[in-house]
Amino acid sequence: MKLRGISAKEVLRELEERLVSDMSYHSGRILGSMCTLPHPLARKIFSRYLEKNLGDPGLFPATFQLEREVISMLGELLGNSNASGIITSGGTEANISAMRIARNVSRKNGRKGKTIIVPESAHASFDKAADLLDVKIIKARLDEEYRVDVDDVQEKVTSDTFAIVGIAGTTALGTVDPIEALSDIAEDKGIYLHVDAAFGGFVLPFLEKAGFRVPSFDFRNEGVCSITVDPHKMGMAPIPAGGLLLRDEKLFIENSFEIPYLAGGKYNHPIILGTRSGATVIATWALLNHLGVEGYTKIVKRCMRNTRILERGIQKIDGLRLPVKPTMNIIGILSDIVDVCKLDLELRKKGWALGKFPEFLRIVVMPHVKKRHIIEFLSELESAVQILLASRTLTSSI
């Protein structure tokens, strides 16, 4: 650290220079992220209320009330306006917290609470949860549509199982697991069911409003105990804004930690964070009110239109295909003739940042990805495939 500080002007100038190598959403070249540019209104509000701390809600009762309203709006969106909940730092914290609550519920009911069953497609946050909670994670296989195989889940359930997880919008391909069937298993066996709709929670309800056929994934399924839903993904809220909704408020109360020393008066923390951003909650409240169902539906429809353009474009390129038809604005790219790792490298050389999974590449068509970016990308994708095919022909002819 410098002994004597430099002027604010110098700091700003240095930052302008240093940060220039970061990628920008404006470029349209970030194709593999579930985050996006926060909505302009949310940006403005976020910077205005930076000091609000919901780790000490007694000091900020009005912000706390806005959080209650955000939870109620999200609950309504996900089939239960009475749901309880909290805004977290992201999907990871929400998923870990849900697994902790599920483990405690199980042990309180005299069960072993030793294993969770998640789909093979589950986000790494469940591996983190299992590690932190010192429980075993069992991965159920996927069917040919990349959704969890319900029979496999059923077979894997034992008296050690304390939670089953279903995904509504997988990280890799945006597929939706058969939540209705998982809900039946959970109810039948008396096991906690958590739905990770970190991404899909801000897409599926609006797709449904737009007339798309959407599988049932939310609290309308009686076995669903909790749902992760992240405003900082398709909700266009500033980072950090995840969300955890619980059907039964009692579970939050019973599984929280009393913090006695707070200036605003003692309060119980139900999640991992202590000090946490109130600004993000206020910004989320503002967006939900400003955009409303109609505004979010428009955004989701636009992303879906662009997804269809991309889908058709990929299908026209020789040698490429989709692993599965997109359910939402996430699309995979598979190839039987070129190595997708090499394809990824070729695209990175041209400045495109996609997601890379073992078998395929993946694009998330977020609101910052415009039609013009997709047209440009498709043309560079085609030439990247040709470069790889040409180098293959050259190597085999030597």
Ligand X SMILES: Cc1ncc(COP(=O)(O)O)c(C=O)c1O
Q: Which stretch binds ligand X (CB under 6 A): 67-75, 85-93, 138-146, 322-330?
A: 85-93
Contact 243, 199 (CB under 8 A): no
**Tokens 């790889």 belong to which residue?**
388
Per-residue buried b or exposed e for 80-113, using 16+ beta carbons within 10 Å of the residue's own CB: beebbbbbbbbbbbbbbbbbbbbbbbbeeeebeb
Least Å distance, CB 194 to ligand X, is 11
CB-nearer residue toward ligand X: 56 or 196: 196
Tell me: does residue 178 bind ligand X (CB under 6 A): no
Contact 174, 209 (CB under 8 A): no
Tell me: does residue 34 bind ligand X (CB under 6 A): yes
CB-nearer residue toward ligand X: 303 or 317: 303
Tell me: does residue 230 bind ligand X (CB under 6 A): yes
Least Å distance, CB 39 to ligand X, is 17
From residue 109 to residue 128, the character string flagging contacts with ligand X as x (rule: CB under 6 A) and all else as - is --------------x-x---
**Number of residues in contact with ligand X under rule CB under 6 A:** 15
Contact 86, 229 (CB under 8 A): no
List the one residue from 57, 75, 91, 223 that touches ligand X (CB under 6 A): 91
Q: State the helix-helix crossing angle for 371-397 and 279-316, rounded to 10 degrees.
A: 50
Q: Which stretch binds ligand X (CB under 6 A): 37-45, 70-78, 167-175, 254-262?
A: 167-175
List the one residue from 149, 196, 344, 346 that touches ligand X (CB under 6 A): 196
Tell me: does residue 218 bind ligand X (CB under 6 A): no
End-to-end distance of the chain based on CA atoms, in angstroms?
Answer: 56
Task: Show contacts with ligand X in window 285-344 (CB under 6 A).
Answer: none
Q: What is the DSSP string of 32-95?
A: S-S--PPPHHHHHHHHHTTT-BTTSTTT-HHHHHHHHHHHHHHHHHTT-TT-EEEEESSHHHHH
Tell me: does residue 242 bind ligand X (CB under 6 A): yes
Contact 333, 315 (CB under 8 A): no
Helix, strand, or coil here: 163? strand
Q: Which stretch binds ligand X (CB under 6 A): 11-19, 196-204, 219-227, 331-339?
A: 196-204
Least Å distance, CB 33 to ligand X, is 8
Contact 85, 71 (CB under 8 A): yes
Least Å distance, CB 394 to ligand X, is 38
Helix, strand, or coil here: 250? helix
- Selection from 173, 182, 161, 85 nearest residue 123 by Cα: 173
List the one residue from 146, 192, 199, 252 that touches ligand X (CB under 6 A): 199
β 161-167/192-196 pair status: parallel
List the one residue from 171, 297, 327, 335 that touches ligand X (CB under 6 A): 171
Least Å distance, CB 197 to ligand X, is 8
What distance in Å separates the CA atoms of residue 282 and residue 136, rounded to the nearest whole number? 37
Least Å distance, CB 284 to ligand X, is 14
What distance in Å separates the CA atoms of residue 256 and residue 284, rounded to the nearest whole number? 24
CB-nearer residue toward ligand X: 124 or 345: 124
CB-nearer residue toward ligand X: 127 or 294: 127
- Residues interacting with ligand X, by CB under 6 A? 34, 90-92, 95, 123, 125, 167, 169, 171, 196, 198-199, 230, 242
